[in-house]
Amino acid sequence: MSAGTHENTAKVAGVEVSTDHYIGGERVPSRERFEVISPMSCEPIAYVSRGGEEEADRAVRAAKEAFPRWASLGPEGRGTYMRRLADLIDENVESLAAVECEDMAMLLRSLRARVIHRGARNFRAYAGLAASYEERDWRSQGTWNRVQRMPAGPAATITPWNAPFMLSTWKVAPALAAGCTVILKPAEWAPLSASLLADLTEEAGFPPGVFNVLQGMGEEAGAALVAHPMVRRVSFTGSPETGRLIGQAAARNLVPFTAEMGGKGPLIVFEDADLEAAARKAAGQYDDAGQVCLAGTRLLVQRSVAREFLELFDRFADEHVLGDPRDERTTISPLIHPDHLKRVEGFVERARAEGHEVLRGGRRSEVGPLFYEPTLIRPKSNDAEIVQREVFGPVLTIQEFEDEAEAVSLANSTEYGLSAVIYTSSLGRADRVGRMVRAGVVWVNTFLVRDLTAPFGGMGISGIGREGGDYALDFYSDLKTLQIQEGSTR
């Protein structure tokens, strides 16, 4: 489609999408706009309002004004709105999936079958968790004590471009359930589904200012948002480099800050594992063109079965089909943006120049302008950049280990600590190695299974704080102790 630089809407995959901010229940344009391209064609699909300090201030003030009323509704009152929103998300899966596919090129069938529905599930789950919270009561030193959750205030949520709709709801849902009002700053490479989410909150009857969408560049709109003195919580998902800057801005205002900042997860395969299942799952790490922070990108295989594992891996990797994400046959879609393709390509080119062995792939694909072949590299050294830094593309490394001790040493040898995968048939080994591997989540003989009540977050430079369940609700709350002298009241 074509989009004029001054249009307030864009037709994306047949869906009308507002390209303006959503602030205080109104669509608000900016004087300047930025271009959003489709990863499938590299052609512009929308020109979106480019916010800055002025729009950030307006959004925060709208959230601040709406906060007392929203907080006073209590968990049950807020839950009514959130469940209504969840129903609307389920009713609009087709349009949400179509726009998300065009905007960031995730496989359409995945978006339809699970990813968009997960957004609805987030709102239902947190509405229920907030309502079921039991305040802690006890008696001590002649007093009756109760710990209460108090909504913190306006919350700034900054989300990434991979699975943007689902990851936005992952932050917005607990914030709203806890009684905070929200300003969502979506990633500039894939902002369009956030605009649709704003439409759905309005349709669900949310009071103006409870949910706001601020669009723009991170260094402009994002920086102004997190530095605003009225913001009382900041939650971020993205790179460690940006996370450090956001954390510094939050610290200046003494604002609690949580961040998930990527990973370099190990996928550990022991000789007693179901090798076929392990190899199939390893080849599956190329899904979404490797643009998954939880992916097990470092294959660590016990030396005694390494050759057999690699043969199986090659067989499963050969089954991948690069193509249009709307095509049911496609298993690997394009990368998000030309700049990101250059970044991924740079990692592989430097690895090749340093003498690391490229076992498969290692080049752009002729399928389309932003496709990169599934790549596997055998590094000469564990200190290599290709092992130690997050690529965030369809690039894996493979290394061999002798025993459990070496496997754990390799697994824990990067600065990251977001996730890990272990394949073994021994429950004892699963427990031993699982305890020793430093990661926020460790899967054994499975991958990407998420319980929404479990803590989620990283160790090392992978993150600060935890999301999920009561951990998220506590983050968006101020905890208060009410203490009453026994016998002093009736």
Each residue of 391-419: pLDDT tens digit? 999 999 999 999 999 999 999 999 999 99
Global pTM? 0.96
| pLDDT for the residue numbered 489 | 86
| pLDDT for the residue numbered 2 | 35
As a three-state string, the secondary structure of the chain is CCCCCCCCEEEECCEEEECCEEECCEEECCCCEEEEECCCCCCEEEEEECCCHHHHHHHHHHHHHHHHHHHHCHHHHHHHHHHHHHHHHHHCHHHHHHHHHHHHCCCHHHHHHHHHHHHHHHHHHHHHHHHCCCCEEEEECCEEEEEEEEECCCEEEECCCCCHHHHHHHHHHHHHHHCCCEEEECCCCCCHHHHHHHHHHHHCCCCCCCEEECCCCHHHHHHHHHCCCCCCEEEEECCHHHHHHHHHHHHHCCCCEEEECCCCEEEEECCCCCHHHHHHHHHHHHHHHHCCCCCEEEEEEEHHHHHHHHHHHHHHHCCCCECCCCCCCCCECCCCCHHHHHHHHHHHHHHHHCCCEEEECCCECCCCCCCECCEEEECCCCCCHHHHCCCCCCEEEEEEECCHHHHHHHHCCCCCCCEEEEECCCHHHHHHHHHHCCCCEEEECCCCCCCCCCCECCCHHHEECCECHHHHHHHCEEEEEEEEECCCCC
| pLDDT for the residue numbered 7 | 81
| pLDDT for the residue numbered 362 | 97
Q: Mark the ranges of the chain whose per-residue pLDDT is less than 70.
A: 1-6
Which active-site residues does the annotation give? Answer: 260, 293
**Region(s) of the chain under CATH 3.40.309.10:** 265-444
The yes/no answer on whether domain 9-261+458-481 falls in CATH 3.40.605.10 is yes
| CATH code of the domain occupying 265-444 | 3.40.309.10
| pLDDT for the residue numbered 6 | 55
